[in-house]
Amino acid sequence: MTLLTSPASFAQAADAQPSPEDTINALNGVFGRHAKERSSHAKGFCAAGQFIPSPHGRDFSTTPLFQGSAMPVTARFSIGGGNPKASDKGRSVRGLGVRFHLPNEEELDLVMISAPVFFAANPAQFVEFLKVRTADPATGQKDPAKIKAFNEANPNVMAHLNYVSKTPPPASYATAPYFSTHAFLFEDHGVEERAARWSVEPVGGFEGLTKEQEETFPDSFLEQELRDRLVRGPAQWEISLQVAEVGDPLNDPTAVWPDSRRKVNVGRLVIDRVVEKGADDDCTGFVFDPNNLPTGIGPTDDPILAIRNPAYGVSFGRRSE
């Protein structure tokens, strides 16, 4: 394995453009290959509810997502990484995939994590980020020196790493925020496009585990916690679009946009039940793909966004074997 230790060497590797198979191999290298499981966000479960559009969304874009009434959604909550037995207390991201079932059989998939930015700007950086974190087969240990060298050579990954390390693990999926990290293009009523990122904020605010809870809670508690919570009432999030301004990078999911950027509330996500495996609306076989977009919403030229669809195809093929 060649370690990228300078911006120049990284830029040279970035031109190599890893294949979709390379990205999934890198995930499998870190987390192992687990039969019938996703290569990333392997540990998770399905839920369902509805999306209630707001009048602000109708004014922002012509997409049918914002123009109608409440519509059903299928969702999946998950733990970041490819280990199906990962601890719910781990310092990693939580994931939320949501499929909006629009009129006329259109769909939108939101694929989000509980950090506002991603850890790689392009497929080459994605692969190398994982390779330096792959344990040595002989010792079973990671090499801290390689990780340190990579981080120093690639400072753009640090916004994600710092956020995850400094943010307590969520006490509930219902009290975690979620972010698209990718920007998308929204057609407005003047038949123009505006770029924005999705953010999904819990109505009750963020709630993290305390130090004592991190020490005493079992490694699997989040699914049961949500089941118990939903008995008392639905979990709810406000969905907003953070609107880009001139100069904001649209093709770099590691880039931090200023907090001063305008946010437009476009509706509310309401989750009211956990879906059992084998049910008619079980999402276990779904491929949540952020390139699955309805009329009025388009992709940017973000290289991580572009590789997701073919990489998901590779992952789906492997879990279908």
Q: Active-site residues: which are they?
A: 41
- Residue 151 has, within 13 A of its CA and on its CB side, a CA count of 12
Tokens coding 168: 């307590």
Spatial separation of the C-alpha atoms in residues 228 and 273, rounded to whole Å: 10
> For 104-125, b where at least 16 C-beta lie within 10 A, e where not — what string?
eebebbbbbbbbbbbbbbbbbb
- The closest of 241, 26, 223 to 119, measured between CA atoms, is 26
Q: What number of other Cβ atoms are within 10 A of residue 165's Cβ? A: 9
DSSP structure class, residue 208: B
Q: Which residues pair with 113 in a beta bridge?
A: 95, 179
Spatial separation of the C-alpha atoms in residues 264 and 266, rounded to whole Å: 6
